Amino acid sequence: MNEAGLHAKLGAAGIDGIGELDTSAKDPFVVVEADALVAVMTFLRDDPDCAMEMLHLVTATEREACIELAYHLCSYQHHHSFVVKVICPRPEGGNHDTWHPEVPSVAGVFDAADWHEREQWDLLGVVFAGHPDPRRILLPEEWIGHPLRKDFVYPSFLGDVPLELDATPMYERGPDWTPPSSEPRPAGEPLIQPPSPPSDRPHAGGQAPAKDEAPADAADTGKEG
Amino acid sequence: MEALEMFTSDRNADVYTEELKLNLGPQHPSTHGVLRVELAMDGEIITDSWCDIGYLHRCAEKIGENVTYLQFTPYTDRMDYLASMNNNLAWSLTVEKLLDVEAPERAQWIRALVAELNRIASHLIAFGTYGIDLGANTPFFYAFRERESIMQLLEKISGARMLYNFIRPGGVANDIDDAWMDEVSAFCDDFEKRWVEYNTLLTDNFVFIQRTANIGILTKELALSNGCTGPVLRASGVKWDLRRDVPYLEPYDECEFDIPVGEGTHGTLGDCWDRYWVRMREMIESVRIIRQCIEKIPPGAHMEKSMVKMYKTPLKPPPGEAYVRCENPRGELGFYVVSEGGNSPIRCRTRAPSFCNLSVLDKLLPGTMLGDAVATIGSLDIVLGEVDR
Amino acid sequence: MEALIGLFGELFGLEGTLALSAAYAVCIGSILGFVTVYSMFAIWMERKVAAHIQVRMGPMVTGGWHGWAQSVADAVKLLFKEDIIPTRANAFMFWIAPAVVFCGVFAGLIVVPFAVGVQVVDLHLGVFFIIAIASIEVIGVIIAGWASNSKYSLFGAVREAAQVVSYEIPTATALLVPILVVGSFRLNDFNTWQAEHHWLIFHSPWLAMAALIFFISSLAGCKRAPFDLPEAESELVSGFHTEYSGMRFSFFFLEEYTSMFVAALLTATLWFGGFNLPFVDSSAWHPALAMPIGIVVLLAKTFFFIFVQMWLRWTLPRLRVDQVMSMGYKYLVPWAFVALIATAVWDYYGWGWLPL
């Protein structure tokens, strides 16, 4: 079945919030509403004609106007693949610090989504509501910020440890060497900057990202080690 | 008194043992790099496990957003550093898809040839290090002997031993000549004999079978749901190989080769032995493909003409996005690249096969023993450079 | 020993306790020297055997001929290395563990007859003594594993305790089989018995089986692959000696190679004729001739078995911990008892097996 057939099948499933198939793209995709995502994924997995056994990739992409989530699915039985997208429009003045788009987690549908969604939270700050284990995956728990956002600022502290961004090599630092002074980043400067003062962002320091994601889970299951 | 309570406390276990947290890694001989697995142990038995990755995170995706398309090719080398050719291939195909160009015919055959050579080299490492994981040190040296020949062959055409940057958008860096192909066929003849030697040394060894059969059983459902690909998925009985099912290069369409799948020869379908044996047989299939490539390789250009012009300025693909999957030695490597018409992509997402294969580890370990944990990690054959990127 | 005491009396006029002490000092010194030189040689040999199995050359540079001085260079390096005691370790226990480990194995050597008259003490219970004193090693390993304050070390120590204690049963039972035939615990009696009759390995199929069981279980006792679980490099980093460095680390090495030597030597003495040559009656030879030939013959046999131990180590994968245990308890122990009982029956009826 090709993408058009899959889209028709999906449209006939009676799920609200399924958009048109974009056939101009190289991999045709369909945009669905965030609320419909879990239902769409479950349908695509369970319907015998679709039979998408595998979730290949979850990708969040930050654009000017939105953060766009792409879910790449494929079926081994039928040798076809499909792309489902969710668009989270950027609110007025939404930036790295204030805006964390929220989409429902599909970790309950595909186990593979577990780590992929953790990675997207880690690097882009997308909140996956209902994720069973919403921790960072690649960066340290104490890390502040989401580095793949375009307006990410390099943090000045990792937990209690000040991060040095001085390019002076170790062997050239004399006994009197001190870390460069910390000054806030002026607007419009390039990305890599001298350290800025410690952030007072709500979920800095490895706390759970959102209140409805059961923050107690991560701390209580002893996974902090 | 405490000791007394320990023994008289109401517990189901016959003997009360205190739970022990064991950090397997990040500095450990058998985690294949800097993987850390936190194990909750009840004596020798693992009761729970948590994978911790990210120790080798080198911000590849961030770098991808800050360099041009061509400049990112060497970075793909460093993801799965044991199969650089295959990574180059996937990246080049992605960029070509964005640009709507196709590599010339000869370049496609060269790509398949070097990618299969690199697949053998990568599986040889998997074979050798798996022996070490299980305490047999000797196969490692045998594997490295043959890998050395492959590295020398690839060095002759690319100038580098491990990180080749050879396959580029539009074709390959250099053409290959007949003398080199003769050397490759000599290697193939040699390798088939050596392969039999490996099996007598490790595959059919009674202790080896005892250690790997019925260990770390990955069911088909679990493998599919977790996004496992490559030999890990095939060992669970799914006959799926992108080279056959979605041929992304012309030779894969034209060459004859089998797809080994797990059969549960010595135990249950999807156990460590199956994963190992699928890799071993894939090496022989790769030799078959290489032989056919040498035979059928057409003359022609090794680089797309229009691309050579484009190379003089940074590539600027039109706005759009492309997702390309390739069958790497470790599974399906995918690049999802979003362009907005600039010099560099605005998103350069990597679907790393090791990342997805590793995510199943936490589900395989509980209930097994410490030695089995090592066997299971080894049989998943992860490269941490790719897991953490 | 008596000869030495007499020698001291003649040369220096020493008598009584003084002569005894001097003789012991000389004996212990020479055994210590032997153990050191032997270990260096064995480590070099292990490297060469491993290398040739693994299509390599091994050490080729140090000292000239085939890198013969590599072990000497390593020993010097280990001597000069900093002796690191982890901060959180129990320093005294950490310090004493290698000594305890080494003493146990080292003491076993004093009852070994290398040739006619070349023996420190001719104990009546020689075999028993070796088995008993070698068990002390386990205590040292447990101390080392516990005192290191590392979980890998602790795992290694616990594995060692479980494994060595379990494998002492088949080891000792298999040793009882030749003892039953010869009717003595004294090691010298095995040499004389085998010189008079035939090598015990050919005595009956049960003796051959006992030799095999002893060799396998002695591999486990020496922590050699495929039973090297206490060290299990790929699982436990280095097991109980993970935290050790420098000279203390090398004591564990000395211990491993010395226990390999003792195991190989017991196999050679109890089953393969000891210092007797095959098909040659050396009992009438002059001691000045019999002694060096006996030493050479015994060492040749011993090194053959050491070679087999190395050969196995570099060929086989490692067993899992429960497989090691089940192999010991389910196969080796019952078959060792079968061999013991069958030998008793066999010898009671005086059956022959081979025309020897």
- For residue range B230-280, list pLDDT tens digits in order: 899 999 988 888 888 888 888 888 888 888 988 888 888 888 999 999 999
- Contact status, residue B46 vs residue B365, Cβ threshold 8 Å: yes
Q: For position A156, what pLDDT does the model report?
A: 66
Contact yes or no for B288/B191 (Cβ under 8 A): no
Using a CB-CB distance cutoff of 8 angstroms, which residues of chain C are in contact with residue B132?
234
pLDDT beneath 50, residues of chain B: 1-11
- CA distances to B325, C35, C74, C315 from C63, rounded to whole Å, are 55, 21, 12, 28
Q: Which residue has the tokens 């889209």?
A: A7
DSSP B365: S
Instruction: Categorise residue B165: left if φ over 0, alpha if ψ from -120 to 50, beta otherwise.
Output: left
Tell me if the bond preceding C226 is cis, omega within 30° of 0. Answer: yes
Residue A203 has pLDDT above 50, yes or no: no
Which helix (H) or strand (E) is B320 found in, with range?
strand B320-328
Cβ separation B336–A70 shorter than 8 A:
yes
How close A25 comes to chain B (CA, Å)? Answer: 7
Please name the residues in contact with B316: beta carbons below 8 A apart, sequence gap of 6 or more: B341, B342, B343
Taking the alpha carbons at both ends of chain C, their separation in whole angstroms is 35
**Mean per-residue pLDDT of chain A:** 74
> What is the distance of C-alpha C74 from the center of its chain?
22
pLDDT of residue C307: 92
| Interface A:B, Cβ pairs < 8 A | 96
Predicted local distance difference test score (pLDDT) of residue B290: 92
Which residues in chain B have Cβ-Cβ distances shorter than 8 Å to C316? 135-136, 205, 207
ipTM for the assembly: 0.84
As a three-state string, the secondary structure of chain C is CHHHHHHHHHHHCCCHHHHHHHHHHHHHHHHHHHHHHHHHHHHHHHHHHHHHHCCCCCCCCCCCHHHCCHHHHHHHHHHHCCCCCCCCCCHHHHHHHHHHHHHHHHHHHHHCCCECCECCCCCCCHHHHHHHHHCHHHHHHHHHHHHCCCHHHHHHHHHHHHHHHHHHHHHHHHHHHHHHHHCCCCHHHHHHHHHHCCCHHHCCHHHHHHHHHHHHHHHHHCCCCCCCCCCCHHHHCCHHHCCCCHHHHHHHHHHHHHHHHHHHHHHHHHHCCCCCCCCCCCCCCCHHHHHHHHHHHHHHHHHHHHHHHHHHHCCCCCCCHHHHHHHHHHHHHHHHHHHHHHHHHHHHHCCCCCCC
CB C153 within 8 Å of CB C144: yes
Q: Look at residue B101 and give its three-state secondary structure.
A: coil
* Token pair in block for residue B33: 């790099």
Q: Do chains B and C touch (3 or more CB pairs under 8 A)?
A: yes
Burial class (CB in 10 A: 0-12, 13-18, 19+), B145: middle
Q: Does B289 touch chain C (CB under 8 A)?
A: no
Interfacial residues of A (vs B; Cβ cutoff 8 Å): 25-27, 53-57, 59, 61-63, 70, 72, 76, 79, 83, 110-112, 114-115, 123, 136-140, 147-148, 191, 223, 225
Intra-chain end-to-end CA distance of chain B, in Å: 52
H-helix or E-strand spanning residue B36: strand B36-42
Mutation for A interface: B98, B238, B323, most A CBs within 10 A = B323
Stretch 48-67 of chain B: residues touching chain A, C-beta under 8 Å: 50, 52-54, 57, 59, 61-62, 65-66
Residues of chain C with Cβ-Cβ distance to B370 below 8 Å are: 155, 235-236, 321
C-alpha C147/C-alpha C96 separation (Å) is 10
The string of pLDDT tens digits covering residues A105-155 is: 898 888 888 899 989 988 888 888 888 888 888 888 777 788 888 888 777
DSSP B136: -
pLDDT of amino acid B262: 86
A112 and B356: CB-CB below 8 Å?
yes
Q: Which residues contact C195 (CB under 8 A, 6 or more apart)?
A: C273, C276, C281, C282, C283
Give me B344's structure tokens: 């560099």
CB B235 within 8 Å of CB B219: no
Between CA C146 and CA C151, with CA C148 as vertex, the angle to 5 degrees is 70
What is the C-alpha to C-alpha distance for residues C8 and C22, in angstroms, rounded to an integer?
8
Judge if the upstream peptide bond of residue B26 is cis by omega within 30 degrees of 0: yes
Determine contact: C151 vs chain B, CB below 8 A: yes
For residue C53, the chain B residues in CB contact (below 8 A) are 138
Which B positions 22-41 lie with beta carbon below 8 A of chain A? 23, 38
What is residue A160's predicted lDDT score, i.e. its pLDDT?
63
Q: Does C228 touch chain B (CB under 8 A)?
A: yes
3-state secondary structure of B208: helix
Q: Which tokens is B85 given? A: 């050719």
Structure confidence at residue C304 (pLDDT): 92
Interface test with B, best of C149, C231, C234 (most B CBs within 10 A): C234
C303, C263 contact by CB (below 8 A): no
pLDDT at A200 over 60: no
Strand partners, A89: A66
Q: Domain B59-388 has what CATH class?
A: mainly alpha
- Is the pLDDT at A196 greater than 60? The verdict is no
Q: Which pLDDT belongs to residue C14? A: 66
Considering the entire predicted model, what is its pTM?
0.84
Query: What Rg, from alpha-carbon coordinates, does chain B have?
Result: 22
What are the tokens at C159?
């594995």
Q: Which residues in chain A have their CB less than 8 angstroms from residue B359's CB?
A: 111-112, 114-115
d(C-alpha A148, C-alpha A126), whole Å: 11
pLDDT one-digit tens code per residue, A4-48: 788 787 778 777 778 788 888 888 888 888 888 888 888 888 888
Domain ranges in chain B are 59-388
Chains in touch with B (≥3 Cβ pairs < 8 A):
A, C
Topology of domain A3-148 in CATH is Beta Polymerase; domain 2 (3.30.460)
| Contacts B35 to C, Cβ<8 Å | none
Residue by residue, pLDDT tens for chain C (356 residues) are: 666 666 666 666 666 777 778 778 888 888 888 888 888 899 899 999 999 998 888 888 888 788 888 888 988 888 888 888 888 888 888 888 888 888 888 888 888 877 766 777 777 888 888 888 888 888 888 898 888 888 888 888 888 888 888 898 999 999 999 898 888 888 888 888 887 777 888 888 888 889 999 999 988 888 887 888 888 777 888 888 888 888 888 888 888 888 889 889 889 888 888 787 776 766 677 777 777 888 888 889 999 999 999 998 888 888 888 888 888 888 999 999 999 998 888 888 777 665 54
Q: pLDDT, tens digit, for every residue of B140-199?
A: 999 999 999 999 999 999 888 888 888 988 888 888 888 999 999 999 999 999 999 888
Backbone angles phi, psi at A68, to 5 degrees: -115, 130
Q: What number of other Cβ atoms are within 10 A of residue C2's Cβ?
A: 9
Question: How far is residue A155's CA from residue A194's CA, in Å, rounded to a whole number?
Answer: 9
Nearest to C157 by CA among C238, C68, C57: C238
More confident residue, B214 or A165: B214
Every domain of chain A with CATH number 3.30.460.80 lies at: 3-148
Cα C198 to Cα B83, C191, C193: the distances in Å are: 61, 10, 8
CA–CA gap between residue A57 and residue A74 (Å, rounded)? 10
CB contact under 8 A, B135 and C54: no
Q: Distances from the Cα of C39 to the Cαs of B117, C43, C50, C62, in angstroms? A: 44, 6, 16, 17
Show me where the domains of chain C are located.
81-348
pLDDT of amino acid C352: 67
- Residue of B57, B226, B347 with shortest CB distance to A61: B347
**Nearest by Cα to B93 from B103, B84, B83:** B103
Rounded CA-CA distance B370/B21 in Å is 12
Match 């305790």 to its residue by tokens. Answer: C161
Q: Give the chain B residue whose CA is nearest to the CA of C226.
A: B135
Q: What is the token pair recorded at C227?
A: 């039973």
The span from the CA of C283 to the CA of C195, in Å, is 8
Residues in chain B with CB shorter than 8 Å from the CB of A26 are: 97-98, 320-322
- State the pLDDT at residue C346: 82
| Secondary structure (3-state) at B107 | helix
Any chains having at least 3 CB pairs less than 8 A from chain C are: B
Measuring CA to CA, how many Å separate A97 from each of A146, A201, A210?
9, 7, 14
Chains B and C form CB pairs within 8 A to the count of 82
